Amino acid sequence: MIDEDDIPTGEVELEEERRALSFADQLEFHALVEELLQHEDTRIIDFETYKPAPDVIVSTIEAGIGLTVPEAILSFFQSISDGFDLEWSYLEEGEERPGGQIGIYNFARVFGTWLDELWGVFEDQSREDFTWEIRGFEKPVAHLNELQTVLHHNANTREFSLYYYAAHGPNFRLKVDFLEYIELLKLSRGFFGWQLLISDADFDDFPVAAEVAERFHRVMPRLFPKDDFSRFRKA
């Protein structure tokens, strides 16, 4: 006699959707740095990681701002590093050229102060009474109009999105969620301006983006030929 529990239902148990970064991601960041160290055509100019953000700091800041930071974002500061600093260069035609940077602020700098907050009005606002709060996530790039990645928080819906933003210049929506951003950050090794290649920037209206795209797709496949860079826009 067949037990009903043994009869296939046709249902497939799906892998749980990834919701946060983990220790494995930390290892990938360190592997990225080691790769740049060992590569004959790249040089690390600066590198530093930090201890994870303590629970007490996180809970105190969250209570102070009246906000629970989403698990995906919080996991960077508690599973990878509470801040991250990397800058590297590469050789091309015998000359050393700026390669990229990963300059992520620590948790307290991103969420713990209202004094340095950035505020902005975005074209995609659907209601004038929306309050948009902009918090710097990565350090600005001086030679790219001071553009920096920011966490763009809608105080009404309590949702976060990502923008590549300049306080006195353009701002571009990044067409990824936070975990996708981190994956592409690792793949790009923080190449200067890589965020423009996953943004809604119009290359004709903002030619800097086209210049970044040309340089990225000329340099990165040469340095890292085993990687697939097809997710980054071309000029």
Question: Could you write out the DSSP letters of every residue in 61-121?
Answer: HHHHHT-PPPHHHHHIIIII-SSEEEEEEEEETTEEEEEEEEEEPPHHHHHS-STT-EE--
Confidence class for position 155, pLDDT limits 50, 70, 90? confident
Domain membership of residue 231 (yes or no) is: no
Domain membership of residue 123 (yes or no) is: yes
Split into its structural domains, the chain has a count of 1
Give pLDDT, residue 132.
60
Q: Which two tokens stand for residue 149?
A: 């990645």
- Please indicate whether residue 18 or residue 219 has the higher confidence score (pLDDT): 219
Domain membership of residue 1 (yes or no) is: no
Domain membership of residue 229 (yes or no) is: no
Mean pLDDT over 22-28 rounds to 94
Mean pLDDT over 40-69 rounds to 94
Confidence class for position 16, pLDDT limits 50, 70, 90? low
- Please indicate whether residue 142 or residue 126 has the higher confidence score (pLDDT): 142
Domain membership of residue 14 (yes or no) is: no
Domain membership of residue 141 (yes or no) is: yes
Collapsed DSSP state (helix, strand, coil) of residue 168: coil
Domain membership of residue 13 (yes or no) is: no
Domain membership of residue 12 (yes or no) is: no
Range of the domain at 54: 19-223
Q: Read off the pLDDT of residues 73-123 as tens digits, 9 standing for 90 and up.
A: 999 999 999 999 999 999 999 999 999 999 999 999 999 864 444 444 444
The pTM (predicted TM-score) of the whole model is 0.85
